[in-house]
Amino acid sequence: MKLAFAAVLLMCLVLSSSLFEVSMARSGYCSSMCAKRCARAGMKDRCLRFCGICCTKCKCVPSGTYGNKHECPCYRDMKNSKGKPKCP
């Protein structure tokens, strides 16, 4: 009984670590793309935060530091609670 429980626990740990690696890879993609996007932003920390939120949801970030939102419609169309563009 104890051996079966240990085997199940070990299997759960292995599976969760592989899922953690996938989420970290996505996070690395968003951080690098948002760093490029927010390179010239006046409020860089705010730009990085909102860009990260948008990238995580949309799985893309437009190229360049401004504009080009046509490259990522989800990023372009995301709005805040006041109806203004959420993504930088």
Residue-by-residue DSSP string for 20-84: HHHHHHHHHHHHHHHHHHTTT-SSHHHHHHHHHHHHHHHS---SSSS--GGG-HHHHH-B-TTSS
pLDDT in tens, the chain (88 residues): 665 655 565 555 454 444 433 343 356 899 999 999 999 999 999 999 999 999 999 999 999 999 999 999 999 999 999 999 999 9
Tokens of 16: 């969760």
Checking phi first, is residue 85 left (phi over 0); if not, alpha (psi -120 to 50) or beta? beta
Checking phi first, is residue 42 left (phi over 0); if not, alpha (psi -120 to 50) or beta? alpha
Q: Looking up tokens 């690098």, which residue turns up?
A: 32
